[in-house]
Amino acid sequence: MVEPIADGEVAHNYVAGEWREAGGGESQAVTNPATGEEIASVSFSSADDEDEAVALANEAFETWSSTAVEERIQPLFRFKQLLEEHQESLAEVLVTEHGKTKAEAMGEIRRGIENVEVACGIPTMMQAGHLPHAAPNIDETAVRQPLGTVVAVTPFNFPAMIPLWFLPYAVATGNTFVLKPSERDPFTANRIAALVDEAGFPDGVVNVVHGGPDTVNRLITHDGIEAVSFVGSTPIAQHVYETAAGAGKRVQAQGGAKNHVVVSANSDLQFAAEQTCSSAFANAGQRCLANPVAVVEDEVYDEFAELLVAEAESMEIGPGLEEGTDMGPLVSGPHRDSVLEYVETGVEEGGELLLDGRDQEVPEAGYHLGPTVFGDVDPDATIAREEIFGPVLALIRAEDFDDALSLVNRSQFGNAASLFTSDGGEARRFRLEIDAGNVGVNVGTAAAMAFFHFGGDKDSFFGDLHAQGDDAVRFYTDETVYIERWPDN
Ligand code: NAD
């Protein structure tokens, strides 16, 4: 059922329970980042393909939205089971087109499954409220109703987990769903769609439409679409937010990040170094929750830098499917070039290269790059401010804890931040004063479980209701209040 990507396979759309060839005329190669070889391709949709998918999803909404909620969650239970049964083969497809390690792929699918599990609780989560005697002889009842057909546009870096931040909640609440996955790794979405098909969702409830920016721009303004969930880089998130909101859609748009970790003078430095290393370099740094900036108190800076570099140096770089690999390749050649440009800029702007990823032994084929650590980086340097989305970590010296807090809050982004400390007072101040959506204490990567919402602040998020948990339920439903008066008799 979860087949490997066949040589020369073309990723087709999945619409109303059928695989359909996209007719946009354009296609894009899908590459194995571990080898650099083009292995398959994805065909882009035409406006007619999108119209048809949305029309069929709209049609399915008529029945699905009034299907008993208990019945709506049955295919979700089966879907969870299928994802678990096929987790390993799905992970292999994901690694083949994305590059991350198999352990990372297994982990991200597990995170996706968690969202399916939470959405199975929709019969309880979707309830709103009822208040008898809200006024004399008046009872009031709030109900949550599905919106219609909703679309999710997702990025390349978590091709399984991120679609699953949206799909389970959207359909459990009674909406029908169109996914536009990243064109860089489209097969993971298609293999997930094959499991959706097997799980027995009625035709048209879940659909996958492939394409690039043109497809996105048509879908997010489409008359048949009620709400837009987006995850990607900040400029595109802002564009999607403004365009879709301008067309009257409900929108949640998650953008890029430049997260900081603070290493306080009283932290367990070895633990902090291990966690920071894993946070910065897992998924080759291509994570919106990576911490590519470490702000370290002066007193422990030298010792921490030494521990961190030792950790980073010990990482095994190689193909994601090879046993023992700690870090896989970057997703593409152009993306690796862009990371290398940042490394050069870091040197030009005076950062001290404590570990140069360009010098490390990596496989020749594919888009591998070793981890890079810059020391004594100026907080205004490009590599301290801009999202690189690669294995590059900048260490910044902070005079003291106050200085560290203000260095973190200077960032234009606010997706996440973490503190390593053994001082409860510092932890409390960090929680209260840091301007980020996900705040960790003694946690390298501050990733909320699916029953909590997930989303950032500042330029990392546009909208108000986030992905996952309760926020997802509220995002995908409209609340209506019934006010009833029945005189006493
Ligand atoms: P991207 O912005 O290039 O692409 C994301 C999606 O937008 C894709 O489906 C793509 O087809 C579409 N798109 C690209 N250009 C477009 C345009 N001009 N108009 C309309 N649609 C367009 O992002 P990416 O490179 O795939 O993913 C990496 C980015 O995603 C990073 O910035 C990362 O921080 C961010 N990200 C954020 C979160 C979060 O939760 N905040 C999670 C994961 C990734």
Q: Report pLDDT for 184.
A: 98
pLDDT: is 292 or 488 the higher one? 292
Angle between helices 87-98 and 187-199 (to 10 degrees): 160
From atom 1 of ligand 1, which residue's Cα is the shortest distance away?
A: 232
Question: With pLDDT > 90 as the criterion, what percentage of the chain qualifies?
Answer: 99
CA distances, 242 to each of 102, 156, 251, 470, 487 (Å): 37, 22, 9, 24, 48
pLDDT bin (cut points 50, 70, 90) of residue 152 is very high
Number of the ligand 1 atom closest to the C-alpha atom of 454 = 40
Q: Average pLDDT over the chain, rounded to whole?
A: 97
Q: How confident is the model over 19-39, as a mean pLDDT?
A: 97
Q: How confident is the model over 256-267, as a mean pLDDT?
A: 98
Q: Which residue has the tokens 């980086």?
A: 377
Question: Ligand 1 pocket check: which of 30, 158, 182 to mutate, most ligand atoms within 8 Å of Cβ?
Answer: 182
| Strand ranges across the sheet with 416-420 | 352-355, 372-375, 392-398, 293-297, 260-263, 416-420, 438-441
For the CA atoms of 397, 283, 76, 129, the dihedral, rounded to the nearest 10 degrees, stands at 10
Decide if pLDDT at 489 tops 90. Answer: no
Number of the ligand 1 atom closest to the C-alpha atom of 211 = 11
Tell me the backbone φ, ψ of residue 461, rounded to 5 degrees. Answer: -155, 135
Decide if pLDDT at 244 tops 90. Answer: yes
CA 241 to centroid of ligand 1, rounded, Å = 12
Which among 71, 83, 114 has a CA at the least distance from the CA of 201? 71
Q: How confident is the model over 323-345, as a mean pLDDT?
A: 98
From atom 13 of ligand 1, which residue's Cα is the shortest distance away?
A: 213
Q: Report pLDDT for 204.
A: 98
Decide if pLDDT at 283 tops 80. Answer: yes
CA 65 to centroid of ligand 1, rounded, Å = 30
| Strand ranges across the sheet with 129-135 | 129-135, 138-146, 477-485
Q: Which two tokens stand for residue 325?
A: 């690999």
From atom 18 of ligand 1, which residue's Cα is the shortest distance away?
A: 213
Q: How confident is the model over 18-31, as a mean pLDDT?
A: 97
CA 466 to centroid of ligand 1, rounded, Å = 16
CA distances, 450 to each of 112, 114, 119, 468 (Å): 8, 6, 9, 6
pLDDT bin (cut points 50, 70, 90) of residue 1 is confident
Q: pLDDT tens for residues 171-217?
A: 999 999 999 999 999 999 999 999 999 999 999 999 999 999 999 99
Query: How many CB atoms neighbour CB 257 within 10 A?
Result: 28
Number of the ligand 1 atom closest to the C-alpha atom of 461 = 41
Q: Which two tokens stand for residue 384?
A: 């301290």
Q: How confident is the model over 415-438, as a mean pLDDT?
A: 98
Q: How confident is the model over 16-28, as a mean pLDDT?
A: 97
Question: Ligand 1 pocket check: which of 104, 288, 468 to mutate, most ligand atoms within 8 Å of Cβ?
Answer: 288
Pocket of ligand 1 (CB under 6 A): 153-158, 180, 182-183, 212-213, 216-217, 231-233, 236, 239, 254-257, 288, 387, 389, 415, 456, 460
Q: Report pLDDT for 24.
A: 96
CA 163 to centroid of ligand 1, rounded, Å = 13
CA 67 to centroid of ligand 1, rounded, Å = 34
From atom 6 of ligand 1, which residue's Cα is the shortest distance away?
A: 155
- Going along the chain from its start, the domains and CATH numbers come out as 9-255+460-481 (3.40.605.10), 260-441 (3.40.309.10)
Question: Ligand 1 pocket check: which of 153, 233, 332 to mutate, most ligand atoms within 8 Å of Cβ?
Answer: 233
Q: Report pLDDT for 488.
A: 80
Number of the ligand 1 atom closest to the C-alpha atom of 212 = 11
pTM more than 0.85? yes
pLDDT bin (cut points 50, 70, 90) of residue 430 is very high
Name beta bridge partners: 316: none
Q: Report pLDDT for 100.
A: 98
Cα–Cα dist 25/27, whole Å: 7
CA 150 to centroid of ligand 1, rounded, Å = 18
CA 151 to centroid of ligand 1, rounded, Å = 15
CA 172 to centroid of ligand 1, rounded, Å = 25
pLDDT bin (cut points 50, 70, 90) of residue 487 is confident
Question: Ligand 1 pocket check: which of 43, 115, 154, 156 to mutate, most ligand atoms within 8 Å of Cβ?
Answer: 156
Number of the ligand 1 atom closest to the C-alpha atom of 288 = 34
Q: Which residues are catalytic?
A: 288
From atom 11 of ligand 1, which residue's Cα is the shortest distance away?
A: 212
Q: Report pLDDT for 25.
A: 95
Q: How confident is the model over 240-255, as a mean pLDDT?
A: 98
Decide if pLDDT at 161 tops 90. Answer: yes
Number of the ligand 1 atom closest to the C-alpha atom of 232 = 30
Q: Which two tokens stand for residue 251?
A: 């929108």
